[in-house]
Amino acid sequence: MPKRLIVIGGVAAGMSAAAKAKRVDRDIEAIVYEKSPYISYAACGMPYFIAGDVADYRDLLARTPEQMAKRGVEVHVRHKVTAIDPDARTVTVHDLEQKREFTQVYDRLVIATGARPVQPPLPGFNLRGVFVLRSLDEGRTLRRFVTQREPQRAIILGGGYVGVEMAETFHRLELDVKMVIRSGQVLRTTLDEDVRKVVEEELARQGVEVIRGKPIALEGNGRVGAVVVDTENDDERYPCDVAMFGTGVRPEVALARSAGVDLGATGAIATDSHMRTNLPDVFAAGDCAQAFHLVAEEPDYIPLGSTANKQGRTAGVNVAGGKATFDGVVGTMVVRAFDLAVASTGLTTARAQDLGHSVHETMITAQDASHYMPGVAPIHVKLVVDDRTDRLLGGQIVGRRGVAKRIDVLATALHHRLTISDLQRLDLSYAPPFAPVWDPILVAANVAAR
């Protein structure tokens, strides 16, 4: 008799798990329950949809339930799983459309419940014009709002990836943009101070004001009109027509925890390298699960779509009887901040020191192409190196062109535990439009080696 796989959550990790399981074992019965109306969509593309770069939200959909049905995967949208009984091997499902509840038996279960936005309980949070940006529904609602209401002033609460991307989006829509960040630092956990300074200078050049302070209330008469911020001097009131929370996300683990699934130190679901939880035949993947950081050598929580897809794929192989492992991440990211690409991988200096490393750091400014080429621009490369072993621990790059290419070189070096000497010997590509004869990574490695 074919085994039944139930997947809770139908975005990156969940759909990757279901699709891969079906490819490994064509006889497996794969059922996906997703509480939203959409599956398998590109959440990372929503700022560009809101800005108008992506004309139709349907362009963000990688798969539909109808397409998955043709592949043998049964998908139910607007179905929320409300309970897991690991002893009976059942899930309780609430059909949000038909307003009915039923129980379904599983042989294997994948929990891919994702993450939820951090939403501080501020007065006025429910005013019109206040948004979080996590689901495609929320992205569509925000786009309608800025198109129909034509706001003039935007305030972003938080300075992470989404906050930086939405600062650019609102600016391109000709809004006055302010960012309220408690620490006053954009991308605080991702960049060191010297690299962050380059990014903050770009934000200032584009007219984005960064306000250091703690938001304490949203004010308005039905619709948001201002954000009240506790600054170093006093409470300040900043008028706005739209406010968006970009204060990060937390793993959505309430369902798993109530079923007895173990959580890790990060607060996300703990799994082994096969994506198995502590419960028999129950797996977890995506933004609800933690990952092992290969450089920090400890569990970490870095919710990215690339990681979710890999974890989901790994879980899918294993629930179908195959053998696959997901060994971990090095924390690679890249984000666009107006005219700059900002990228990081591995450990910052601050985190490396917190973990007990004695480090030396090198930051160089070079050119992203040969000096005589049109459009040549500065590129900043920072390397974080273990002082004792000369092993590369991390890197950060900011520039106009070629940043993603180069951060991937450093990410590969981290995966293979390369030293600065190894980095110096890399045979990197050279052609005048793309890189100088001494690539900026090699320049940084040479300086670090001194």
Q: Please, what are the domains in the chain?
A: 4-116+250-319 (3.50.50.60), 119-247 (3.50.50.60), 339-449 (3.50.50.60)
User: Above 70 in pLDDT, residue 2?
Assistant: no
Tokens (6 digits) for 169 = 């989006």
For 375-405, what is each residue's pLDDT tens digit? 999 999 999 999 999 999 999 999 999 999 9
How large a percentage of the chain has pLDDT more than 90?
A: 96
**CA 351 to mean position of chain CA atoms:** 19
For 301-323, the pLDDT digits (tens) are: 999 999 999 999 999 999 999 99
In this predicted model, what pLDDT tens digit does every residue of 400-429 receive, in sequence order? 999 999 999 999 999 999 999 999 999 999
Supply angle C-alpha 260, 262, 268, rounded to 5.
Answer: 120
pLDDT tens readout for residues 277-305? 999 999 999 999 999 999 999 999 999 99
Would you state the pLDDT for residue 231?
Answer: 85
- Kindly calculate the radius of gyration of the chain based on its CA atoms and give it in whole angstroms: 23
Using the CB atoms, write b or e for 268-303: b if 16+ within 10 Å.
bbbbeebbbbebebbbbbbbbbbbbbbbbeebbbbb
Confidence of residue 119 (pLDDT cuts 50, 70, 90): confident
pLDDT tens per residue across span 230-240: 988 788 999 99
- Please report which confidence band the pLDDT of residue 120 belongs to, taking 50, 70 and 90 as the band edges: confident
Residue 326 tokens, joined:
């997901």
pLDDT at 450: 86
pLDDT tops 60 at residue 1: no
Distance CA 44, CA 33 (A): 22
List, for residues 338-368, the tens digit of each pLDDT value: 999 999 999 999 999 999 999 999 999 999 9
Say whether pLDDT at 133 is over 60: yes
Q: Given this model, what pLDDT does residue 234 score?
A: 83
Neighbours of 19 (CB within 10 A): 22
> Is residue 288 flagged as an active site residue?
no
Among 44, 61, 373, 428, which one carries the catalytic annotation?
44
Alpha-carbon span 288 to 207, nearest angstrom: 36
pTM for the model: 0.95
Question: For residue 233, what pLDDT is reported?
Answer: 77
